[in-house]
Amino acid sequence: MIDLRSDTVTKPSDKMRAAMAAAEVGDDVYGEDPTVIRLQEQAAEIFEKEAALFVPTGSMGNQIAVKLHTRPGQEVIIEARGHIFNYEMGTPAVLSGVMMRPVSSGDGSGHLTWDEIASALHIGQPYYTSPTGLICLENSHNFAGGSVMTVEHCADICTHAHAAGLPVHMDGARIFNAAAALGSSVADLTRHCDSVQFCLSKALGAPVGSVLVGSKDFIAEARVWRKRLGGGMRQVGILAAAGMIALEDGPKRLHEDHANAKALAVGLTDIPGVAIDVESVATNIVIFDITGTGKSSAEIVAALKDAGILAIGFGDVIRMVTHCNVSAEDVGVTVKYLRTYFA
């Protein structure tokens, strides 16, 4: 199978499996797992923030951040296609008692300007609105096709947000992809964010795990909420060991995934009825519109599956994601299949 559904499907490398088998471990609920401690220290250093916390999933990292930054009854501003709003099962309402205020990005990029955010803010007046408590950003933006937000753009939003007394959380599930695409460091891309969640288990290739990064006080409180949510994981150095390799080696090869995604997008351009904006493919995610083909995304995804290729269809679009278990040859096979299928 060529699995293009997501970069979450990657299998741990032999190097990761060996490191997992050899990992030094301790009880992480007691703060005694040396491999987890190393991973957290390394993450904090890379992001140039005070502290970090290993969490089981990106969703848990995001939701702990929402919980810590907000009070019940507040609103959280997010771009309309953002993961925290669409794919985290209403947890901000369930866990934090807050409402999401989705705002569409005017240019379709998935990245709001400060003016767009400002137009949705409720600060103080009138008293009968739900006050804004938090701004959530996403870089790269999954459902906007892996689009990226620059250092300057993020800094601008954070500066205005802080002046308005609002914290900013970055859902950086794929922040290393954004960094590779922009030629910026993840530290610069998140410099002014109050918290960042990044996934080890997506493009970086680890089997499990995410890291929440922020100030010492924030992370100390996040540790309490992780345990409360059932995320205290004991001898979890066996997972952090794979995470360490993902963090060290993963970022170095992301340009290959991005080149494969671009080749895939270019390969799709001359298929009649398929609409794809090649220029907008900045990272490892390719989303193309199939309205003009006369077929449904479900039909196309089923045909791909019969041909040994896995993709995801949402309404009139299909998403394909490149990752470390997808080669340039696999992309070639996929393009060839789709050309034949639509011919």
Ligand X SMILES: Cc1ncc(COP(=O)(O)O)c(C=O)c1O
Positions that interact with ligand X (CB under 6 A): 8, 57-59, 62, 83, 138, 142, 171, 173, 199, 201, 210
Closest to ligand X by CB, 101 or 169 = 169
Instruction: List the one residue out of 131, 139, 5 whose CA is nearest residue 82.
Output: 139
How far is 176 from 35, CA to CA, in rounded Å?
22
User: What residue has token string 């995604």?
Assistant: 261
CB of 316 to ligand X, least distance (A): 20
Instruction: Say if strands 99-103 and 75-79 run parallel, antiparallel, or are unpaired.
Output: parallel
Shortest spacing between CB 234 and ligand X, in angstroms: 19
Residue 52 or 271 having the CB closest to ligand X: 52
- Find out whether 65 and 233 touch, Cβ atoms under 8 Å: no
- The nearer residue to ligand X, 171 or 257, going by C-beta atoms, is 171
- Cβ of residue 209: shortest distance to ligand X, in angstroms? 8
Write down the least CB distance from residue 123 to ligand X, Å: 27
Q: How far is the CB of 10 from ligand X (least distance, A)?
A: 12
Residue number with CB closer to ligand X (79 or 330): 79
For ligand X, the closer of residues 146 and 267 by Cβ is 146
d(CA 306, CA 169): 41
**Tokens, residue 139:** 């870089």
Residue 138 or 257: which CB sits closer to ligand X? 138
d(CA 296, CA 249): 39
Strand partners, 132: 75
Q: How far apart are CA 106 and CA 257, in angstroms?
A: 28
Kindly state the smallest distance separating residue 83's Cβ from ligand X, in Å: 4
Residue 198 or 218: the one with the smaller Cβ distance to ligand X is 198
The residue to which tokens 């791909």 are assigned: 304
Please list, residue by residue across 75-98, b when 16 or more beta carbons sit within 10 angstroms of its beta carbon and e when fewer do. bbbbbbbbbbbeebeebbeebbeb
**CB of 239 or CB of 338, closer to ligand X:** 239
Residue nearest ligand X, CB atom distance: 58
CB of 325 to ligand X, least distance (A): 16
- ∠ CA 43-48-53, rounded to 5°: 35
DSSP 21-35: HH-----GGGT--HH
- 173/320 with CB nearer ligand X: 173
Output the six-digit token pair for 251.
């970022």
Measured at the alpha carbon of residue 46, what is the angle toward residues 178 and 226, in degrees to the nearest 5? 90
CB of 138 to ligand X, least distance (A): 5
- Please report which residue ranges of 50-113 form alpha helices under DSSP H: 58-69, 83-86, 91-96
3-state helix, strand, coil in the chain (%, to 5): 45, 15, 35
CB of 6 to ligand X, least distance (A): 6
